[in-house]
Amino acid sequence: MIDKQMTIDVNDLALFAKVIDYGSFTAAAEHIGLPKSTLSRRITHLEQQLGERLIIRNTRRLAITEFGQAVLDHAHAIEQEALAVADLANYRQITPSGNLKVSMPPNYMDFIQKDFFQKFINDYPHIGLDLDFSSRRVDIVAERYDLAIRIAFKLADDATLVARPLKDLSGGLYASPTYLKKHGIPKTPQDLENHIGIHLANSLGEIQNWQLKCGKESWQGIPQGPLTTNSIEMIRLLATQGVGIISITSTLVQQCVEEGKLVHLLADWEMPTITMWAITSGRKLLPMKIQAFLKELKQALI
């Protein structure tokens, strides 16, 4: 009786099929590149595991048993499945395909060319996109995301994930001409203590200090302000309406500056750069669908 816990080595099944297909141990061994003695030993071990003879052998010929014929059908099926998997892998290497589930910040369209997704869909018709625009920190592994885009100064250590930097983003302080006319223009970082700040909270609800550096001088602080939110759109809107000063990635207010709605303050003082990350699960080999997406995304960043 076969042990129910037995695990059959599918490679041995494939070797058995080769012996039958080539008609002899000698021919099969030459084709496979194994010593004939090793091939014979592997088949004998398989027979012992299965509890029945697969092949009747003598010095002149070999014959397959009734049980061997039944096993051979399964061995050929496994071989065909293996070839199908190889064909699928080759196809996906040549033609990226499959469903791609991506988590992105809600304001991510401000960082990329507006026709990015249209172009990607046209260029990669075999990839389906499942996009989640949210500030929520998704569990990539548990929720089966292929990729998460995050913007942060640094990321928490997690051995199950791989973070790849996409781009470093510079930031600055901005206010509307209306606000500056009413409250004056800060000349030094210390002047910010007498101004109104509109604060952006991170995913944990925390407000980060504003940090500025000019040469060897540095300053950090949190100006008083009437509002804290996790919405970049909200702080940008309120800033254009003259409510207060915001600390924000420059890319996100570029159009507002060009239209005269916001003014860059303390331009000689630099803020720490913040990094845009591509986060995947800790697999060494990235599927082609992810590689294609990241390649096109890098080219579309503005």
Ordered by start, the domain boundaries in the chain are 10-94, 98-166+277-300, 171-272
At residue 14, φ and ψ (nearest 5 deg) are: -65, -40
Whole-angstrom distance, CA of residue 144 vs CA of residue 152: 22
Question: SS3 of 272, please?
Answer: coil
Q: What CATH number is given for 98-166+277-300 in this structure?
A: 3.40.190.10
Categorize the per-residue pLDDT at 11 as very low, low, confident or very high, splitting at 50, 70 and 90: confident
In 3D space, the residue among 223, 225, 226, 198 whose CA is nearest the CA of residue 212 turns out to be 223
The tens digit of pLDDT for each residue in 151-208 reads 888 787 777 788 999 999 999 999 999 999 999 999 999 999 999 999 988 767 778 8
Whole-angstrom distance, CA of residue 116 vs CA of residue 298: 11
Q: Looking at the domain 171-272, which fold is it?
A: D-Maltodextrin-Binding Protein; domain 2 (3.40.190)
- Which pLDDT belongs to residue 2? 47
Long-range contacts of 154-160 (CB under 8 A, 24+ apart): 154/275, 155/277, 155/279, 159/282, 160/281, 160/282
- Which pLDDT belongs to residue 93? 63
Q: Looking at the domain 10-94, which fold is it?
A: Arc Repressor Mutant, subunit A (1.10.10)
- Which pLDDT belongs to residue 178? 97
Please give the helix or strand (H or E) that residue 75 lies within, else none: helix 66-94
Higher pLDDT, 22 or 252: 252
- Which pLDDT belongs to residue 1? 46
Mean pLDDT of 242-252: 94
Which has the minimum average pLDDT: 83-87, 256-260, 268-272? Answer: 83-87
Burial profile 38-60: b = 16 or more Cβ within 10 angstroms, e = fewer: ebbebbeebbeebeeebbebeee
Q: At what angle do helices 25-32 and 36-50 cross, to 10 degrees?
A: 110
Mean pLDDT of 259-266: 97
In 3D space, the residue among 200, 211, 203 whose CA is nearest the CA of residue 155 turns out to be 203
- Which pLDDT belongs to residue 88? 67
The domains spanning 10-94 and 98-166+277-300 adopt the same CATH topology? no
Categorize the per-residue pLDDT at 77 as very low, low, confident or very high, splitting at 50, 70 and 90: confident
User: Residue 126: is its pLDDT beyond 80?
Assistant: yes
